[in-house]
Amino acid sequence: MYNFKGINIEINIEGIKRQNTLNQDIQINPADLDTEFKDQALKFIYWATLSELAKDLANRKKYELDMFYARLDHSIRQNAVVNNIKLTEKMVENTVVTNEEYQKAMKEYNEARKQAGILQVAKEAFNQRKDMLVSLGANYRAEGSADPILLKEAAKQKLANKAINLKKEKKND
């Protein structure tokens, strides 16, 4: 299932279905950067792991496809020898690629490659998310007024100054 409006992704790796909403994981809550920084690594590792599992599956499907091709090729050539039929390379290739089982294996390989590609993009999105978090954090620190620690300190200083001014006013009265 691929729904790019909400970026819902359902991945099926070795019969295990994993579904997650990339759109939710990729969002940043600027009001809670501490949590966002803390959760970044966990979100990245989840999507990066799925990406690696999908790449591994695609590689195994490619190997199976190549092995299947080789077995069919051999079988076709052996059958031709037994029946005294002369085949060209293109005839052997066409016989292999039009085989229904080979086509099914090719379809599985292409699906695995597609899943691996989509998950690679998701993994890259988390690298961009990390960069955005770093930039947001730097902007908030540079602004100063948006840093909760600085706001707390400023409020304390303001109260202290107000108390000093009140004491001065009472002395002058």
CB atoms within 10 A of CB 89: 8
Q: What is the pLDDT of residue 4?
A: 46
Position with higher pLDDT, 150 vs 48:
48
For residue 127, what pLDDT band results from cuts at 50, 70 and 90? very high
Cα distance between residue 137 and residue 135, in whole Å: 5
Position with higher pLDDT, 14 vs 163:
163
Q: Are 120 and 126 in contact (CB under 8 A)?
A: no
Q: What is the pLDDT of residue 101?
A: 96
In a domain? residue 111: yes
In a domain? residue 81: yes
Residue at 16: amino acid letter = I
Give Cα 82 to chain centroid, integer Å: 52
In a domain? residue 170: no
What's the mean pLDDT in 12-20? 71
Three-state secondary structure call for residue 19: strand
CA angle 164, 170, 173 (to 5 degrees): 145
In a domain? residue 164: no
Is residue 3's pLDDT more than 50? no
Query: Largest Cα–Cα distance of the chain, in whole Å?
Result: 122
CB atoms within 10 A of CB 117: 14
From 44-53, 75-84, 96-105, the region with the lowest mean pLDDT: 44-53
In a domain? residue 36: yes
In a domain? residue 9: yes
| Top-ranked range on mean pLDDT: pick from 15-19, 30-34, 47-51, 76-80 | 76-80
Domain count for the chain: 1
In a domain? residue 30: yes
In a domain? residue 154: no
CA-CA-CA-CA torsion sign (23, 26, 32, 36):
positive
Q: What is the mean pLDDT of the chain?
A: 85
**By residue range, what is the domain housing residue 95?**
2-143
